[in-house]
């Protein structure tokens, strides 16, 4: 639910808070810190390496989903919210935090991994 409150927040490369705008990893780090007190940092790939692998069919809300969006493994991250959907800060082109789906469209073919930070 906390991630949903950021829908339509602005995008900014390197952004780490709602006032400045978010990039994908900054959004995840901010949400995790605010909602759970858990500190994650670094790039999407750094965040992926620190999490525990989860099978796609076992995703639960709060797990992280990773994509290859820049011809680079694990270059984008979002927070799974259930029903095949995730919240993310996609790019400066779209300009806003939004919800997308894992099962169709641009991100379906670019899905690479899922990770959890929770037991």
**Residues 49 and 61 sit within 8 Å (Cβ to Cβ):** no
Alpha helix stretches (DSSP H) within the chain: 24-36, 44-50
- Convert 92-116 to b/e letters by CB count within 10 Å (16 or more is b): eeeeebbebebeeeebeeebebbbb
Range of the domain at 102: 3-116
pLDDT digits (tens, 9 = 90+) for 96-106: 899 999 999 99
What pLDDT is stored for residue 91 in this prediction? 81
pLDDT of the residue at 63: 97
As annotated, the active-site residues are: 24, 76, 88
* pLDDT confidence of residue 4: 84
Q: Residue 42 CB: number of other CB atoms within 10 A? A: 12
Please list the pLDDT of the chain residue by residue as tens digits (119 residues). 778 888 888 899 999 999 889 999 999 999 999 999 999 999 999 999 999 999 999 999 999 999 999 899 999 999 999 999 999 998 867 778 999 999 999 999 999 999 999 98
Phi and psi torsions of 73, nearest 5°: -55, 140
Query: What is the predicted pLDDT for the residue at 55?
Result: 97
Total tally of structural domains belonging to the chain? 1
Q: What's the pLDDT at 69?
A: 92
pLDDT reported for residue 1: 74
Q: What tokens does 54 get? A: 């989860």
CATH of the domain at 83: 3.90.1720.10
**Confidence at residue 2, expressed as pLDDT on a 0 to 100 scale:** 74
């Amino acid at each position: 639910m906390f991630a949903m409150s950021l829908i339509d927040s602005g995008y900014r490369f390197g952004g780490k808070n709602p006032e400045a705008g978010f990039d994908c990893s900054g959004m995840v780090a901010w949400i995790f810190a605010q909602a759970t007190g858990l500190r994650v940092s670094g790039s999407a790939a750094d965040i992926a390496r620190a999490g525990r692998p989860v099978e796609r069919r076992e995703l639960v809300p709060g797990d992280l989903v990773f994509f290859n969006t820049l011809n680079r493994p694990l270059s984008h991250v979002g927070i799974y919210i259930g029903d095949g959907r995730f919240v993310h800060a996609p790019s400066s082109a779209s300009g806003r935090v939004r919800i997308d789906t894992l099962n169709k469209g641009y991100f379906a073919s670019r899905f690479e991994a899922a990770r959890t930070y929770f037991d």
